[in-house]
């Protein structure tokens, strides 16, 4: 069965530091993968998605993610964290009929 | 373009009571999804509609949860009777079509339910 694992339920970085949020998937077929962000008391907003067109995917707000088939990973990065990046981030796998299977989420804290 | 609308935003009920949530998807979107997000977990799909037909309801607790999308536009999710473990955020999402795994889902702000 397909599954998504996000390593680290909480990540804390300094403003201006590199952001790295980890996501690994389990699937027997080529995946479609997504990163969503959730700000407090809001719904989920798409950051970026992998659809097999390119392994390095650029998204909104300076985020990008690299698909590595050999490592079954789709880690999210941003070179320089801003205070406004503090939120919860979800990695998701798209199964049949576009059913999204989410990881447990990683809460990102950014401190001055 | 207006986003996905949900109401109410917050609801507090006692166990064994009933509750209903409403969702209006983005105009023209054929597919509507209801997700349950328990605190500390990722969202879990409860039910998926394409137009007014059910595509997937395999994880919907049918003994207490029901959902409908009668005219293929807005949708209602009901819980009757509610249990303590139903406390969660209920998210509605929509997408243009369905069956395409790369398609983006657009989420509403959610309804936060607390069952006492």
CA nearest neighbour of B69 among B41, B30, B42: B30
* pLDDT confidence of residue A7: 93
Say which residue, A2 or A89, is predicted with more confidence: A89
**Does B91 lie at the interface with A, CB-CB under 8 angstroms?**
yes
Residue B97 confidence (pLDDT) above 90: no
For all residues of chain A together, what is the average pLDDT?
Answer: 92
* pLDDT confidence of residue B87: 98
Using an 8 Å CB-CB cutoff, list chain B residues near A98.
Answer: 31, 48, 95, 98-101, 103, 105
* Number of other CB atoms surrounding residue B75 within 10 Å: 24
Q: Give the closest of A4, A43, A45 to B110, CB-based.
A: A43
**Does B107 lie at the interface with A, CB-CB under 8 angstroms?**
yes
Please list, in sequence order, all residues whose beta carbon lies within 8 angstroms of the beta carbon of residue B47, skipping any fewer than 6 positions away: B33, B34, B54, B56, B57, B59, B60, B67, B77
Residue A45 confidence (pLDDT) above 80: yes
Q: How confident is the model at residue B98 (pLDDT cuts 50, 70, 90)?
A: low
* pLDDT confidence of residue B1: 67
């Amino acid at each position: 069965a397909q599954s998504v694992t996000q390593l680290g339920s909480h990540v804390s970085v300094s403003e201006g530091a590199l952001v790295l949020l980890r996501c690994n998937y389990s699937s027997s077929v080529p995946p479609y993968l997504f990163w969503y962000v959730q700000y407090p008391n809001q719904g989920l907003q798409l950051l970026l998605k992998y659809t097999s067109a390119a392994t390095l995917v650029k998204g909104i707000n300076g985020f990008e993610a690299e698909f590595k088939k050999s490592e079954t990973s789709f880690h999210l990065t941003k070179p320089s964290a801003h205070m406004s990046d503090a939120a919860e981030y979800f990695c998701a796998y798209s199964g049949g009929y576009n059913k999204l299977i989410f990881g447990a989420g990683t809460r990102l804290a950014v401190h001055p | 373009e207006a986003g996905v609308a949900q109401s109410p935003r917050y609801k507090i009920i006692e166990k064994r009571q009933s509750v209903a949530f409403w969702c209006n998807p983005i105009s023209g979107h054929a597919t509507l999804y209801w997700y349950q997000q328990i605190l500390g977990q990722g969202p879990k799909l409860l039910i998926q509609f394409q137009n007014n037909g059910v595509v997937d309801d395999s994880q919907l607790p049918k003994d207490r949860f029901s959902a409908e999308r009668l005219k293929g536009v807005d949708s209602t999710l009901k819980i009757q009777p509610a249990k303590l473990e139903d406390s969660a955020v209920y998210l509605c999402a929509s997408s243009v079509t369905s069956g395409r795994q790369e398609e983006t889902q657009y989420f509403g702000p959610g309804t936060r339910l607390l069952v006492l």
